[in-house]
């Protein structure tokens, strides 16, 4: 590790870099780094990616994580050469969480720079939200290669684009481009390719400028109410959490007043 301006750790398949936001906070950039293999998921990448996400999230100065890929692709899915050679065999032990990425206290912005396919698509879906380069493309090709999603695609994708569109993507294995992804609600913004990382960092800086504990609590609340639909229980949970938060903040302010 070096100083805050160039604090970077490189690995064979994933890189982790930190950018200073201000004196007290930073943004972490995690990059899938197998460009010659279109960042396909090798055993090394599968091990290093969650480790880098955890390392970034464990740093108390980090307020946001940006996840992207080294051009030309975001992630082409599992490296079928490894599957065919037997490097990936047997059942994988459960990591203790659902989805492609470990849970984090800070938001993860997916900056999709190119094709996000199958397992790579599921990595993208594990982010809080996505922005896309105009070169981005998305596809679920599990059916084409004779596999079934295991990282939550059938759970998350319908929430974002609707059940019909999600089923169509999965059973046809068709690609959609960045503009179609924006129209369907899969991504929140499309930018020129050269602007992608800068734009992701701008959004990350906006998040970093907010109250960190509140950002984390709001993310947790979204996750808590998601399975409850739009009924009274969901509203009750949100109201209860808001009251608990207000009471905790009032207690903290009272304690600060006493100390001063």
Residue with tokens 């929140």: 188
Taking residue 241's Cβ as centre, other Cβ atoms within 10 Å add up to 16
How far is residue 164's CA from residue 182's CA, in Å, rounded to a whole number?
16
Reported confidence tier of residue 156, pLDDT bands at 50, 70, 90 = very high
pLDDT single digits (tens) 201-252: 999 999 999 999 999 999 999 999 999 989 999 999 999 999 999 999 999 8
Pair 87, 128: CB distance under 8 Å: no
Crossing angle for the helix pair 163-172 and 153-161, to the nearest 10 degrees: 130
Residue 12 pLDDT class (50, 70, 90 cuts): confident
Contacts of 257 (CB under 8 A, 6+ apart): none
**DSSP secondary structure code for residue 38 in this structure:** T
Token pair of 173 as six digits: 């294995």
Percent share of the chain, pLDDT over 90: 82
Strand partners, 68: 31
Q: Tokens 């946001």, residue?
A: 64
Contact predicate 158/141, CB 8 Å: no
End-to-end Cα spacing for the chain? 38
What's the pLDDT tens digit per position in 81-140?
Answer: 765 555 554 556 788 889 999 999 999 999 999 999 999 999 999 999 999 999 999 999
What does pTM read for this prediction?
0.90
């Amino acid at each position: 590790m070096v100083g805050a301006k160039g604090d970077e750790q490189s690995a064979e398949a994933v890189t982790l870099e930190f950018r200073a936001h201000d004196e007290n906070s930073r943004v972490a950039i995690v990059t899938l780094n197998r460009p010659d293999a279109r960042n396909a998921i090798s055993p090394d990448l599968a091990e290093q990616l969650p480790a880098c996400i955890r390392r970034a999230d464990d740093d108390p100065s980090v307020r946001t994580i940006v996840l992207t890929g080294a051009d030309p692709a975001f992630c082409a899915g599992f490296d079928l050469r490894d599957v065919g050679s037997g490097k990936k065999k047997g059942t994988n032990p459960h990591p203790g969480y659902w989805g492609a990425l470990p849970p984090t206290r800070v938001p993860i912005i997916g900056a999709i720079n190119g094709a996000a396919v199958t397992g790579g698509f599921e990595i993208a879906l594990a982010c809080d939200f996505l922005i896309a380069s105009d070169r981005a493309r998305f596809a679920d090709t599990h059916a084409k290669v004779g596999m079934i999603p295991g990282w939550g695609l059938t759970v998350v994708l319908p929430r974002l684009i609707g059940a019909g569109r999600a089923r169509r993507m999965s059973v046809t294995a068709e690609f959609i481009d960045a503009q179609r992804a924006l129209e369907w609600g899969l991504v929140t913004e499309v930018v020129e390719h050269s602007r992608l990382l800068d734009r992701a960092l701008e959004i990350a800086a906006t998040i970093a400028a907010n109250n960190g504990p509140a950002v984390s609590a709001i993310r947790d609340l979204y996750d808590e109410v998601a399975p409850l639909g739009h009924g009274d229980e969901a509203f009750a949970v949100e109201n209860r959490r808001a009251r608990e938060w207000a009471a905790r903040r009032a207690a903290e302010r009272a304690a600060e007043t006493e100390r001063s």
